Structure 1
Amino acid sequence: MSKFDPTADSGSDAEKPQGDRKEQKQALKSLDVRQFTISADDEDIRVDRWFKRNMPDIPFNMISRWARTGQLRLDGKRVSPGDRIVAGQVLRVPPAEIERPGRVPKPRKELSEDEIAFAQELVIHKDKAAIVVNKPPGLATQGGSKTSTHLDGLLDALTFDAATRPKLVHRLDKDTSGAILLARSAGAASFFSKRFSGRTARKVYWAIVMGVPEIADGMIDLPLSKQPGSGGEKMHVDEENGQPAKSRYRIIERAGNRACWVELQPFTGRTHQLRVHMAAIGHPIVGDGKYGGKDAFLTGAISRKMHLHARRLKIDHPDGHKLDVKADLPEHFAETVENLGLDLSIGDLPLEEKAPGGKAVRKQKSRAHAKQIRKDKRGERRARGEQAGKPVKAGKPSKRPRPSAGKASHKKALPHKAKQRKR
C-alpha cells in the first residue's frame, strides 16, 4: 500500500527526502486519467482482453467497477468489459486506485508436446507474413472466464522461425469451424486489420440450413443489435437502433425440402451476423439452437453440432498478391453432406470481385424468381388435373401464393430504409 495520501498537506518538497519525492511523482502519475488509441494488433478483442494484454496489473473487478460507474469510456461512450474494440478508437482509463497493490501478471502456461502437435496440425498455410489455421468446432478463439483452452493460448506453438508468436487478426465463434488468419509480425497485423476493417477481405462460409429459401440468391439487409438482458452474448434484428448488417446467401444444393446447403458471405462484421440473419428469414443454421431453438435440428443421423464453416478467405497480402485459402470441412459437417446426398464437388461457387448489384438488381431477381415459382406451380396443378382426368383452366391462379417467412423477412428492412431517406 502506498504511503502517499494526495489529500494530505505534507509540507514543501524541500522537507522531503529524495525517495519520497520519487514515490510522490509515481503516485501522481497513476492518478492521471489516461487515454489509449487502440492499435491494429488489438483489433476486435474484448475490452477486458485489452487490459489483460496491455495493463495486466489492473484486476478484472476494478475494470468492471469502472464500467458500471461510467468511468471507462470508448470514444467518449460508456463501454462494458465484454464489448469489442476497433483499431483507432480511444479508450479512456480512469486513475488507478493506488491504495490497492497491483496484481502480478500470470505467465503464459507452457504448452505440452501434445498441445504443440495439435496446434501445428491446424496450419493449412504459412508464409513470411501470415499463417492460416483450420479451427475445429468447439475450440474458442480467445479465452474467457470459463474458457481455459483456446486458440490464442496455443499460439506459442506457431512461432516457427519468427521472433514472436503470431497475432490474431479476426475471430470465429467457438462452435464455428474454418479458416482463421494469423499475422506473424506487428506490421502484418496492421496490414491485415486494415483490410478487414475496410471490408476488402472476402470471407465465404458454408452452412446447412433448415428448409429451402424461396429465393436462390438473396441479400439479407437487416440491422442488428445486442438483445437486452442477454449480457451482450445474443443479437437480434433491431430496425430502430441496430447497426447496419448485410449478408448474402446462395443455395448450393437442396436436400429435398428438408434442408439445403448454402454459401454465405458477410459484408459487415456484426457478432453472430450470419446466424441471426438466416434465423430471421426462417432458415436457421442446423445445430444453432441459440437462434433457431428446437427447430434448428434435423432428426436421424445428422449431428447436433453447428453446421457453419469458414470455407474460404481471400485477402490482400503485404507482398502484393492475393492470399486465397480454403479450409476443409470438419468431420461432422462432411458426414452430414454425405447423409443428405449432397455433392461436395460443387460447393465452391464463383466468387465475384465485388459485392453483387444494388437493390434494383436484387428486386429484379426476386420478381423473376417468384414468377418462375408461380409458373412451376401452375404446371404441377395442370399435371395433377390431367392425371385425374379433370379439365384444368389455363391462366393465373385464383389466389396469389402466400410468401414464406423468408420473403417477408427480406422486406423487413425496406420501411427502415425508406424512413432513413425521408429524414
Structure 2
Amino acid sequence: MATSTSPPRNENKRDFATSDTGAGQRLDRWLVSLNPDLSRSRIKQLIDSGQVSVDGRNNVDAALILKRDQSIVLTIPPPTETRIAAQAIELEVVFEDAHLIVVNKPAGLVVHPAAGNPDRTLVNALLAHCGDSLRGIGGELRPGIVHRLDKDTSGLLVAAKSGGAHAHLAQQFAAHTIQRVYDALVWGVPDLRKGIISGQIGRSTTDRKKMAVRKIGGKYAETHYETLEAFGLVSAWVICTLKTGRTHQIRVHLTSRGHALIGDRTYGSSPGKLSKTFDSEALGKVRNFSRQALHARVIGFTHPTTGKAMRFEREPPVDFRDLAETLRAATKQNAKLKPSKR
C-alpha cells in the first residue's frame, strides 16, 4: 500500500513512498491513482516539466517503472494567469458552486476561443463571472470545458472550476454516463416513432470540415430518438438522447436518415415545394431561421465532490418555440396534409 506524508491538498508539495502496490507500476499511472484531483495529462505535464522527482531525481520519464521503497515528490506550481481575457457577457447561470457551473448557452455564442472567434466566447464570459473562484485547471486559472455545444446550438453546458472537478467530469463523459437530451426540429417525419441510430462517425471523405457516417474508420456513435410531435408530413419535433458524444452527432445521424435539422446550412437543406405547405409569411419564417434547430434540454451527471446525482432541464428558447408554432399552425391550415401515424 502507498503511504503519503503529503501536506494539505491546497499546498504545493505532495510526498509519497512506494510499497508493494506501487512497485511494478508506471510512475504516471501510480500518481494518477493517488491524486484524483489531477488528470493524467496534467500529471504527465508535471513530470515532463521536472515537477516530479523520484529518489531526488527530477529528470524522470512518465513511463518509469517504480520499485519498492522509492520516494516520490510531486510539486504543483501555483496556477498561472490565463492569456484569455475575461469579458463581461451576460450568462444564464442554472447552477453554481465551488466546483462547477451549469449555464444555459444562447445560440450564437462560441464556447472556446479559436481561429475566427478569438474572444466574446463562453470561456471569456466564465472567466469574468467566476473570477477568484477558479482554482486552476492544467496549471492555469481558467474554466474547465469538458464538452462543447456548436455555436448555433442552444442549451445546457457544464464547466469545471477546479482540476479535481474537471478530471471527474471528464471521466464521466469518457464513460458515457452523462445524461444529455436534445430537442430538434427536423424536415420530414421519422418512419418509426422511436428508434436508435448507430454507426461510425468520422471526418467526411469529401469535405474535411464536415462529419459523416462512415463504413470504415471513425468512432462508434449512438443516438436514441423519439418523435414528440409531427407537423403533417413536412416536419417533426424530435427528442434525441445521446449515448455517445461525437462531433455533430445528432446533426449527422438525423441527416443520414433523411431528416436534416431545419436551419442547418452545413448538413441539410429545406425540401422543395414548401410554397404548397406554407403561406408567404410562414415560408419566410421557416426559410430565414438562422441556425440549426437544436437545443440541449437536459444534462445530468454525478457531482464530482458530493457524489450526488445532478439533473438540470431548460425549455428551448423563444426562436425555437416560435418556429415550432409556425410549423404547427401551417399544418392545421393546410387541409391537404394528412396527419402522420404515431
Q: Partner amino acid for 2:309?
A: K
Q: How far apart, CA to CA, are the structure 2 residues paired with 1:144 and 1:295?
A: 33
TM-fit CA distance, 1:257: 1.1
Alpha carbons 1:131, 1:181 under 8 Å: kept: yes
| Residues 202-241 of structure 1 aligned to structure 2 (within 5 Å) | 202-228=179-205, 230-231=207-208, 233-241=209-217
Change (3 A) 1:110 1:202: closer
Q: Which 5+ residue runs of structure 2 have no aligned equivalent? A: 1-27, 33-37, 50-80, 136-141, 275-281, 330-339
TM-fit CA distance, 1:42: 7.3
Change (3 A) 1:282 1:185: same
Q: Using the TM superposition, name which of 168-177 and 221-230 deviates more.
A: 221-230
Question: 4+ residue runs of structure 1 moved beyond 6 angstroms?
Answer: 36-39
Q: Partner amino acid for 1:139?
A: L
More strand by share: 2
Q: Partner amino acid for 1:217?
A: K
Alpha carbons 2:105, 2:155 under 8 Å: kept: yes
Paired position in structure 2 for 1:301: 285
Secondary structure of the residue aligned to 1:146 is: coil
Paired position in structure 2 for 1:61: none
Q: Partner amino acid for 1:282?
A: G
More helix by share: 1
Q: Indicate yes or no: 2:341 matched with 1:333.
A: no
Paired position in structure 2 for 1:275: 251
Secondary structure of the residue aligned to 1:199 is: coil
Q: Indicate yes or no: 2:290 matched with 1:314.
A: no
Secondary structure of the residue aligned to 1:139 is: coil
Paired position in structure 1 for 2:10: none
TM-fit CA distance, 1:41: 9.1
Alpha carbons 2:86, 2:125 under 8 Å: kept: no
Alpha carbons 1:305, 1:332 under 8 Å: kept: no
Alpha carbons 2:198, 2:223 under 8 Å: kept: yes
Q: Partner amino acid for 1:129?
A: H
Paired position in structure 2 for 1:179: 156
| Residues 347-362 of structure 1 aligned to structure 2 (within 5 Å) | none
Paired position in structure 1 for 2:219: 243
| Residues 110-149 of structure 1 aligned to structure 2 (within 5 Å) | 110-111=86-87, 115-116=88-89, 118=90, 121-148=91-118, 149=120
RMSD: 3.1
Secondary structure of the residue aligned to 2:220 is: coil
After superposition, the C-alpha distances for 1:10-50 in whole angstroms (9 at most, x for unaligned) are xxxxxxxxxxxxxxxxxxxxxxxxxx99974979xxxxxxx
Q: How far apart, CA to CA, are the structure 2 residues paired with 1:278 and 1:172?
A: 17
Q: How far apart, CA to CA, are the structure 2 residues paired with 1:145 and 1:42?
A: 24
Secondary structure of the residue aligned to 1:334 is: helix
Paired position in structure 2 for 1:287: 263
After superposition, the C-alpha distances for 1:151-207 in whole angstroms (9 at most, x for unaligned) are 122221221662434321211111111101011211111111111110111100000
Q: How far apart, CA to CA, are the structure 2 residues paired with 1:40 and 1:122?
A: 29
Paired position in structure 2 for 1:156: 127
* TM value normalised by structure 2: 0.64
Q: How far apart, CA to CA, are the structure 2 residues paired with 1:41 and 1:186?
A: 11
Alpha carbons 1:41, 1:169 under 8 Å: kept: no
Change (3 A) 1:239 1:125: same
Change (3 A) 1:128 1:239: same
Q: Indicate yes or no: 2:92 matched with 1:108.
A: no
Alpha carbons 1:224, 1:237 under 8 Å: kept: yes
The alignment covers a number of residue pairs equal to 244
Alpha carbons 1:142, 1:150 under 8 Å: kept: yes
Change (3 A) 1:107 1:201: closer
Q: How far apart, CA to CA, are the structure 2 residues paired with 1:314 and 1:225?
A: 26
Change (3 A) 1:261 1:294: closer
Change (3 A) 1:341 1:40: farther
Q: How far apart, CA to CA, are the structure 1 residues paired with 2:134 and 2:152?
A: 31
After superposition, the C-alpha distances for 1:354-391 in whole angstroms (9 at most, x for unaligned) are xxxxxxxxxxxxxxxxxxx9xx8xxxxxxxxxxxxxxx
Q: Which 5+ residue runs of structure 1 have no aligned equivalent? A: 1-35, 44-50, 56-104, 343-372, 377-423
Look at both structures and tell me which one has the larger radius of gyration over its CA atoms.
Answer: 1
Alpha carbons 2:134, 2:143 under 8 Å: kept: no
Change (3 A) 1:110 1:153: closer
Secondary structure of the residue aligned to 2:295 is: strand
Alpha carbons 1:141, 1:152 under 8 Å: kept: yes
Q: How far apart, CA to CA, are the structure 1 residues paired with 2:104 and 2:256?
A: 28
